Amino acid sequence: MQIIDGKAVATALRGKIAEEVKTIAGEVGLAVILVGDDPASKVYVRNKIKACEETGIKSYLCNLPADSTFDEVAATIKRLNEDDSVTGMILQLPLPKHLNENELIDLIDPKKDVDGCTFVQKGRLWTGRDSLIACTPYGVIKLLEHYNIPLEGKNAVVVGRSNLVGKPLAQLLMDRNCTVTICHSRTRDLGEITSAADIVCVAIGKAKFLKADMVKEGATVIDVGMCRDEYGKLCGDVDFENVAPKCSYITPVPGGVGPMTVTMLIFNTLEAYKQQHKK
């Protein structure tokens, strides 16, 4: 059994990004829009700004009050769309409940959509065109590739069908010639399906949901969850202690997929700059 070290892979990739940013004559800039003061969102935003600092990318934080109207948030997005110093933009989720996140996300210029959330970038991904890919599933693929885990012809199960993780991850695995099954809260006999898979990816936000009897010997298990157990300790969607001995590869929580999410945001910001400045 080998533990997939997402922190080490992310650190190495950030080093490569920093070296490439040094060679660019212009300025690469990431704008983050934060509406309100949700504690978890503030931590995530802080991590994104720190990653920008590490790699030489300019960061712009637009912190709007929690009671901002749709038009006020939309005006901020419009301003950043028109700002040439902003290469990429992300609207930090979740938004306050009175705001429609899909309508606001789709106001972002697709060329600056470094979180891969606009319907344009999703459509490009699902129709096999070059796209800016949602950061968490893209990070999962980078981890699988880094460890040379075979994908072609493998049976992969994705537990979770969210637009942010489950759906794009399924597409990325299919693009690499996996046979993919998507499971969700209405799936019958879930354990039978996961226990037949070569690769199991879980992204549902339920602490220690995937048990040892739901995984076959030698499987690769990717845990995208971020939860708290009954003792308040950070954990994932996988019962790591009992599942790990059965696996060939497994990601821990923390230190697995998490570090890759922010790193792929930085990666996409650099990629967006290159696309915007093609000669």
Active site residues: 48, 92, 115
Helices 6-22, 258-276: crossing angle, 10 deg rounding: 20
Nearest 5 degrees, angle CA 135-CA 139-CA 140? Answer: 125
What would the two tokens of residue 234 be? 């950070």
| 177 φ, ψ (degrees, to nearest 5) | 70, 30
Sign of CA dihedral 231, 237, 239, 245: negative
Q: Please give the Cα distance from 225 to 28 (Å, whole number).
A: 31
Contact 209, 215 (CB under 8 A): no
Residue with tokens 């009671």: 67
β-strand partners of 91: 33
- Return d(Cα 61, Cα 187) in angstroms, integer: 41
Q: How far is CA 240 from CA 21, 65, 144, 174, 183, in A?
A: 37, 39, 18, 26, 20
Pair of tokens at residue 180: 């993919």
Residue 209 to residue 191: CA distance in whole angstroms: 11
